[in-house]
Structure 1
Amino acid sequence: MSNIFTMCFVENNSQLLLQKRVKKPFKGLWNAPGGKVETYESPIEACKREIQEETGLDIDNVNFRGILTVTNENQKSSDVLMLFHTKEFSGSLCGSEEGEIDWVETEKIYSYDNTPESFTYLLPYILETDSTLTGKMIYSRKKLELFDINV
């Protein structure tokens, strides 16, 4: 059975909210916050809950941006990653046990060595279009083998 996860791109002018992961996958790398959709939760409810728990921010006007399947060689099925984006939030920023949180200049993200390769591929589709995305990511030996996206 597949797991369903959310990832939310929280944008503040020319900055993006990133989290330094303390767990696998991508332990030690900076990525957009999000997490698993729990039983009886809709994806948007999970997205809002995860952002609040992990960053201290309450997000509004959250836009659904797409859905990707994510598979690695050890899985018997693909996970589902639901993508969201917002520029509206309130509250005070704070980290959690999930990892350090910080606002990062968007342009710097593309030259970072400490973000997942798939994240830098995905970022322009989220920030530079309003389209809904579908696609897949396939990993082999912890390396991105295929990134296929449709706009």
Structure 2
Amino acid sequence: MGNVFTLCIVRDNDRILVQKRHKSPFKGYWNAPGGKVELQESPKEACIREVMEETGIYLNDIKFRGVMTVSNALKKVGTEVLMLFESSDFHGQLVSSKEGEVDWVEMDTLYSSKYVPESMTYLLPYITDCDGIITGKLVYNRHKLEVCDITLQS
């Protein structure tokens, strides 16, 4: 098994907090904040820490939304785990970091942008419009999404 990562959809009504990434994966793309779960850290703690470090926003409360595996079709090892969270309870002021530029973007804009990872456009409606726990897998082949299998459990 590979690393464990978090991804958090931070909502302010119809706006989503996104970060234009300065490094791979998804360099130059707008994506939700998140990152690697560190040693002796829970996924929830990692999510709160990563959002704060990357955006300046402190999450008062977060909701666990699901888990996805992420792998590469060409590599036979190194499946990663992506823990999904959501929050609309936060405080603080946006601050860009070395990780990337941050901004609030209208949800509709994210769906039509060519600079949003395809996986984000698939996951977003499950997180923003549905209740329940999300499970599934994302499989990439040469940085292109080849398989996106999402299940919503009520």
Q: Who is 1:60 aligned against?
A: 60
- Provide TM-score, normalisation by structure 1: 0.98
State the Cα distance separating 1:142 from its structure 2 match: 1.0
Give the superposition deviation at 1:2. 1.3
Question: Counterpart amino acid of 1:64?
Answer: F
Pairing 1:90–2:91 present: yes
Map of 2:118 onto structure 1: 117
1:26 aligns with 2:57: no
In structure 2, the residue matched to 1:107 is: 108
**Alignment partner, residue 148 of structure 2:** 147
Q: 1:144 to 1:109 in 2, by over 3 A?
A: same
Gaps of 5+ in 1: none
C-alpha spacing 1:97/1:132, structure 2 compared with 1 (3 Å): same
Whole-angstrom CA distance in 2 between matches of 1:108 and 1:75 = 36
Q: Root-mean-square deviation (CA), in Å? A: 0.8
Confirm or deny that 1:16 pairs with 2:16: yes
Tell me the amino acid that sits aligned with residue 31 of structure 1: N
2:102 partner letter: I
Q: What is the TM-score of this pair, normalised by structure 2?
A: 0.96
Q: Distance in 1 between matches of 2:76 and 2:53?
A: 28
- Which letter does structure 2 place at the counterpart of 1:136? K
Amino acid at match of 2:78: S
Identity %: 54
Q: How far apart are the structure 2 equivalents of 1:21 and 1:74?
A: 24
Count matched residues: 151
